[in-house]
Amino acid sequence: MAMERTYLMVKPDGVQRGLCGEILSRFEKKGLKIVAAKFMVIPKAVAESHYGEHKGKKFYDSLISYISSGPVLALVLEGDGAVAVCRGMMGKTNPQESAPGTIRGDYGMVTGMNLIHGSDSPESAAREISIFFKPEELVEYARSSDSWIYE
């Protein structure tokens, strides 16, 4: 089975509300493996690179300001179908449209403060991981619990 990696970020509102542990715990309990983690304040240039596809949109400047306004928890998680699994667990971008049981459905109220970012495809995951992590920061290791998660 081919393992997939994805990029996740607990955004400044999630950090400020003390939800990093709760959010990360959900992914670990699901069976995803932590490959890298970094607590950081995103420099403006990095934020602009990360959200480059939104440049020119009316919300771009406020998005850059928000994402660089305080610390975030940047993560790389690994698992079978990690991108889709994580996106499902996060819920819709608008928390008011997110199902109960999802991160945004349980903890979010508005789109502008929706707690978490996750890659939307394996290709964007690779791009985003390379923005926030050097290759040597990604840790390869065997997890004994994998035999109880995967067939």
Q: What is the CA radius of gyration of the chain?
A: 15
Which position among 117, 118, 125, 132 bears the catalytic label? 117
β-bridge pairing 4-10 and 33-41: unpaired
Q: Annotated catalytic, 50?
A: no
Distance of CA 73 to the CA centre of its chain: 8
Distance of CA 88 to the CA centre of its chain: 12
Judge whether 3 and 80 are in contact, CB under 8 Å.
Answer: yes
Q: Which residues are catalytic?
A: 117
